Structure 1
Amino acid sequence: MGKKIAKFIGCIFGILILIVVVYVLYVMLSYTRLEDHLALTSDAPGDSQVVRQAIESDSDREFCIITANIGFGAYDQEFDFFMDGGTMSWAQSRERVEENVRGMSEAIVGYEPDFLFLQEVDTDGTRSYHVDEYELVRQEFPSFETVYAQNYDSAFLFWPLYQPHGRNEAGLVTLSMYDIAAAERRSLPISDSFSKFLDLDRCYSISKIACENGRELVLFNVHLSAYGVDASIQQAQREMLYGDMVAEYEKGNYVIVGGDFNHDMTGDSGVRYGNQVQAVESWAKPFDFDSVPEGFTVGARALAEAGEFDMAATCRDAGRPYDGTNDRWVLDAFIYSDNVEVLEYETVDLDFAYSDHNPVRMVFRLLGVGSAHEASVQR
């Protein structure tokens, strides 16, 4: 009798091991990355409005650009995330996903942006109840031309066991009130270790908008790797991004880079917001400001160094629901070339009502041909 029980238990363990091996093989064999230098197609405005073809040669024209990580429609104040120390893996409901995406969109619409960067926009995800958030965003911004760049397409993840994260597709969305003449997806360097199967297919998108003065406004929508990645990978990502930024700048183009940098973009968020975790080695590390190419400014850092950054944080700790005391950081920001004059720069303080990120808003002018004016930041 004892031998039969032992044999039965052995068979059960053998089956479980086989299931695990088959699943690991499935994850590894299904893994793929999109090619680099992938041309992207823009989608016309949903309301059939004809967007403006080129930016007018008017030195007094002011533009508004906003960046926001929408957290796949899940991260309202009640949400925590299992990978950050919480318990939740999915949004609380399909209805909540739609409410959060619409709520964030309506808050942004009120600022009348000309350009908009969004990150963590699910197109088909277990975690977001298969809501096509890209189409939902297009409904909320019907007068904008849009470009979608995929940066996440995971195999079905069976973790956590009580609520498997599932299979998810997501990306970056760039919206413009002007015609996007060309758009491209750049594949960022990522880890070669097993962690790549759990991380995003990191990338940034480049969207080019013609100006009547012969230049282009070049918009970079980014979502860099987080603190857990090897420093050499982070450096390689920055160097690749900087290379494209500088190449456009040397052509005389206007360059604006915005998004979720997954680093402290003031360098002192821990002290600034009284965080419990303040160590440099912890979440999140200060950005390598010394590596920023000449001719470019990190907006949040410039204000912090001038003693003028007195605004809300852009990201909160998602290890627990938000109650106003969570650790907070400035992870979302704009970097811009010195032929872009910044007039206003601020966090749009939504108190993390719809995402674990608050949007960042910047108002700017494009300086004239041949101008050597040094960009300024004012509040």
Structure 2
Amino acid sequence: MEKKLFSGKNILIGILYIIGFIVLLLVLLVLYLTLTEYKPDQVTSMVIDYADINEVPTKTSFKAVSFNLGYGALGEEEDFFMDGGKKVYPDSVEVVEKNLAGILEVLKDIDADFHLLQEVDKNSKRSFSIDQQAYLEDTILGLPSFYAENYKVKFVPIPFPPMGKVDSGLVTSAKYNILEVDRISLFVPFKWPVRIANLKRSLLVTRMPVENTGQDLVLINLHLEAYDDSGGREKQTQELMALMEDEVAKGNYVIAGGDFNQSFFPLEDLPYESAEDQWEPGLLDLNLFSEEFHILRDESMTPTCRSNHIAHTAYEGRKYYYYIDGFIVSDNINVEKIEVYDQGFKFSDHNPVVLAFSLK
């Protein structure tokens, strides 16, 4: 009697083989990501030697800029799956190149003395493996600039198509000699196995000697947790505050700038709107910061960030915006002006924030 090739039993066995193969692939993927997980030290330090030290003068006007570049891939035509959109990365490398060229022109127009940049990719699939730090060094930052990893994963398996390899972080540069650089690891709110393909955020701390004072100007570049409701972002803010207080106790001048992923204004006070299921930031807790510090806000409420649930070109006059980027400074910093530079979200999903200041 001839056997039936497609009997119920054979079909069931075939299905079990397929399920087993998929499970095996998932196990191997988790094993690979576990073995290659980025596990930075709590503090990674670098000391730089210069033949001549260019110290920062007091009572001189400077400009610092904080700018989340959206890894050159979140210009006006993009949405993003984590914000409720559909896309993982742009359609072509030309889109990233266009955004980087626009970002460059914005930074040239601002002409800052100190750059604190976030979401700078070095070798990531989502931005077509362009080394954005090198691009910026060659065009505007000069050498050296300093990089701290925030997101370093061999293969991010979500969504579909998967994000793939990511190497992204913070970049700081200055027109004065940075003598010490520390990458300080922040609290990681994620547990295994979610942790192995997730961000490992940090503070990029740079120090420059201040002329005739024996003190340092300390810049703290940051990008705090976004998609977390477990209190991780608040814990990271507390860690930032502790570091700032320690530096002020030493008599140093302290400027922290970056993407806080927390609103600088109560949400109900802002002239923006929200869509259904749109990501919503918490409020930056002003009570965490003592009277020795000043949280700086552009009272015009020009937004610093947009929602990526749809492309900006599809907003049709709607205001799906946030104010989550900015600066906190110590009392020995004389603040001359704080202003959001409105680039219309053409080249990034963030606007730069510009601080004009001097050292008392």
Same fold (TM over 0.5): yes
1:211 aligns with 2:210: yes
Deviations 1:63-117 (A, max 9, x none): 0000000011100011011111111111232122122122112112112210011
Of residues 325, 328, 338, the one that matches 2:321 is: 328
Over the aligned positions, Cα root-mean-square deviation in angstroms equals 2.2
| Residues 141-167 of structure 1 deviation map (CA, whole Å, 9 limit, x = unaligned) | 154531111111113123222x21001
| Alignment match, 1:306 | none
Asked whether the equivalents of residues 123 and 170 of structure 1 are also in contact (C-alpha less than 8 Å), the reply is: yes
Q: Offset at 1:312?
A: 1.4
Alpha carbons 1:145, 1:177 under 8 Å: kept: no
Rounded to whole Å, the distance in 1 between the matches of 2:166 and 2:343 is 27
SS of the residue corresponding to residue 243 of structure 2 reads helix
Q: 1:156·1:168 contact (CA, 8 Å) conserved in 2?
A: yes
| Alignment-mate amino acid for residue 224 of structure 1 | L
Task: Tell me by how many angstroms 1:346 deviates.
Answer: 0.6
Point out where structure 1 has 5 or more consecutive residues left out of the alignment.
45-49, 304-308, 368-379
Q: Displacement, 1:199? A: 2.8
The equivalent residue for 1:250 is 249
Q: In structure 1, what is the Cα distance between the partners aligned to 2:276 and 2:322?
A: 10
Which residue type is aligned with residue 357 of structure 2?
F
TM-superposition CA deviations, 1:324-375 (whole Å, max 9, x none):
42411111110000110111111000010111100000100110xxxxxxxx
| Distance in 2 (alpha carbons) for counterparts of 1:246 and 1:153 | 29
Trace 1:2-81 onto structure 2 (pairs within 5 A).
Answer: 2=7, 3-40=9-46, 53-57=54-58, 59=59, 61-81=60-80
**SS at 2:123's partner residue?**
strand
Q: Is the 8 A contact 1:65 1:116 kept in 2?
A: yes
Contact 1:27–1:155, Cα closer than 8 Å, also in 2: yes
- Could you tell me which of 189, 213, 218 is aligned with 1:191? 189
Q: Which residue of 1 aligns with 2:282?
A: 285
The answer to whether the 8 Å contact 2:38/2:153 transfers is: no
After superposition, give the CA deviation of every residue in 1:258-295 in whole Å (9 maximum; x if it has no partner). Answer: 00001111223x5413312599x961111111111330
Q: What is the CA-CA distance between 1:31 and the residue it aligns to?
A: 1.5
Contact 1:73 1:91 in 2 (8 A): no
Task: Tell me the amino acid that sits aligned with residue 293 of structure 2.
Answer: F
Structure 2: state its 5+ residue gaps.
Answer: none
Looking at structure 2, the residues matched to 293 and 196 of structure 1 have their Cα atoms a distance apart, in angstroms, of 33
Residue 319 in structure 1 maps to residue 309 in structure 2? yes
How far is the alpha carbon of 1:311 from its aligned partner?
A: 3.7
Distance in 2 (CA, whole Å) between partners of 1:255 and 1:27 is 37
Q: How many Å separate the matches in 1 of 2:106 and 2:262?
A: 25
How far apart, in 1, do the equivalents of 2:122 and 2:257 lie?
21
Residue of structure 1 in register with 2:148 after alignment: 149
Contact map agreement 2:301 2:323 (CA 8 A) in 1: no
Instruction: Give the 3 Å change call, closer, same or farther, for CA 290–79 of structure 1 in structure 2.
Output: same
Distance, in Å, in 2 between the alignment partners of 1:249 and 1:76 is: 38
* TM score, norm. by length of structure 1: 0.87
| Structure 1 equivalent of residue 178 of structure 2 | 180
Identical residues among aligned pairs (%): 32
User: Could you tell me which residue of structure 1 aligns to residue 344 of structure 2?
Assistant: 351
The structural deviation recorded for 1:255 is 0.4
The answer to whether residue 341 in structure 2 is matched with residue 342 in structure 1 is no
Who is 1:47 aligned against? none
CA distance in 1, matches of 2:295, 2:327: 6
Secondary structure of the corresponding residue to residue 151 of structure 1:
strand
Kindly indicate whether residue 196 of structure 2 is the aligned counterpart of residue 225 of structure 1: no
Report the counterpart of residue 292 of structure 2 in structure 1.
295
Amino acid at match of 2:56: I
SS where residue 174 of structure 1 aligns?
A: strand
